[in-house]
Amino acid sequence: MNTEKLGGSYIKIENRKLVFSHIFNQPGISRPQITNMTKLSAASVGRITDELLNEGLIREYDSDSGNVGRRPTLLHVCGENIPALAVELDRNKQVCAAIDLTGKVHCRIERDFYVLNHSPQEICNLVREMADEVMSKPSLSGKKFSGICVVLPGLICMDSGKVLLSSQFRWNDVPLGKMLRDLFPKMPVALDNEMNARALAESLYGELRHEQNAVILGIGSGVGAGIIANGRVYRGDCNMAGEVGHIPMDPNGKMCECGCYGCLQTYVADWALVEDARRFRRNADINTILRAAEGGEQWAISIIERFVRYTKIAISYFTSLLNPGAVVLSGSLLEDYSVLNEWLLREYPLKMQGPFKTSFRLSMSGLGRDGGIIGAAVHLLYKVYDEYL
């Protein structure tokens, strides 16, 4: 093996990524500014920016500066040229969108589709149907899609494309990657855990953009977390980091969908709250709980107080173990029912110990329901354009 040639190739790739990162993070930057900030030669910066222009990843325009003399040419990311298909699967609602490298959502469609009533193949067929609908939109006519990335809750092996376990879907060892590649034979296919995708999106476009160490906690039909460590998504050895929903809180508690007793999500997931509420109201849902709590009914107040208490415990685990600079809250339960996140944000600091009270910032996700699909698109684009991004 020619290690000198290999080393030179690696350096070229890293230099391309360095130049692109400056253009991505500082829209309107000029070549001389990039040269000054990266310490690369002007010739190298010129060659790399020409490559990025040819790939359609960036574009240039003249500065409107009123300075005398030649105006500098400015650069910015041109993500609309390379949209990706992004799909987020959840227990009750499925989403497909076209998203570009800047995180802009060009088209978004949803389907109410209860996963537990359908086979994995039927889910894949739905993904193909939704993708075709998105790609057929007039505004996307003629666009060359970079591929498709599907994100979902569970333990995902990205190398094999298998869903090793998704307790929310009741899937074990489902070869989802292969099934999707059979339906999308002419484009790259990628899979990821939905919370890792959300962490990636928040770190590039959202609340965590300027954080090196952070956590995003999602609560909906399940509970999970995405972790940012030293500026990158931390996945653990097998892409299983962040499965906080299955931390055992009480060995004598309720049985979880994973088959164990007393997991965290049996105290805070939406179905767990509804299950308890239906001991008092036959057809209760989350809105029933909130209305009853507002009316002073103790059973509803107790359910919300327990939700807040166990969510605070989950946050405390992360702050004590990882010392993040920020914790961002997300997920349908908190995004759709603002009363719950207001209660949580109001009460949480009161229960912190000593220095932990001011050691991190707690906030809601600014990307909302689009966080998962934006992260899915970026995951795919980074994979396809690995030599540039």
Q: How confident is the model at residue 259 (pLDDT cuts 50, 70, 90)?
A: confident
Q: How far apart are CA 114 and CA 190, in angstroms?
A: 23
Which residues are paired to 148 by β-bridges?
85, 189
Q: Tell me how far CA of residue 192 lies from CA of 46, 233, 237, 290, 380, in angstroms.
A: 35, 12, 14, 33, 10
Q: How confident is the model at residue 388 (pLDDT cuts 50, 70, 90)?
A: confident
Q: What pLDDT does 5 receive?
A: 45
pLDDT in tens, 34-93: 999 999 999 999 999 999 998 888 989 887 655 555 667 899 888 777 899 999 999 999
Select, from the ranges 137-151, 185-199, 341-355, the one with the highest average predicted confidence (pLDDT): 185-199
pLDDT > 90 fraction of the chain, expressed in percent and rounded? 69
DSSP 202-231: HHHHSTTTT-SSEEEEEESSSEEEEEEETT
Is the pLDDT assigned to residue 200 strictly greater than 90?
yes
Distance of CA 116 to the CA centre of its chain: 23
All domains of the chain, ordered by start, with CATH?
Answer: 3-77 (1.10.10.10), 82-197+371-384 (3.30.420.40), 209-366 (3.30.420.40)
pLDDT in tens, 201-213: 999 999 999 999 9
Select, from the ranges 178-182, 319-323, 349-353, the one with the highest average predicted confidence (pLDDT): 178-182
Is the pLDDT assigned to residue 258 strictly greater than 80?
yes
Q: What pLDDT does 347 receive?
A: 67
pLDDT in tens, 133-160: 999 999 888 888 999 999 999 999 988 9
Mean pLDDT throughout 8-12?
A: 82
Mean pLDDT throughout 278-291?
A: 95
Lookup: tokens for 153: 């809750």
Q: What pLDDT does 1 receive?
A: 40
Mean pLDDT throughout 340-364?
A: 72
Mean pLDDT throughout 304-324?
A: 92
- Could you identify the residue written with the tokens 């030649």? 70
Q: How far apart are CA 13 and CA 313, in angstroms?
A: 43
Q: What pLDDT does 2 receive?
A: 44
Find the range with the poorest average confidence among 15-29, 65-79, 209-223: 65-79
- Which residues lie below 8 Å from residue 70, measured CB to CB, with a gap of 6+? none
Is the pLDDT assigned to residue 274 strictly greater than 90?
yes
3-state SS assignment for residue 173:
strand
Q: What pLDDT does 290 receive?
A: 95
> To 5 degrees, how large is the angle CA 254–CA 365–CA 320?
60
pLDDT in tens, 364-382: 999 999 999 999 999 999 8
Rg of the chain in Å (alpha carbons): 23
Find the range with the poorest average confidence among 5-19, 209-223, 340-354: 340-354
Q: What pLDDT does 6 receive?
A: 47
Lookup: tokens for 194: 């939905």
Q: Whole-number mean pLDDT of the chain?
A: 90
Q: What pLDDT does 384 receive?
A: 86
Mean pLDDT throughout 102-121?
A: 94
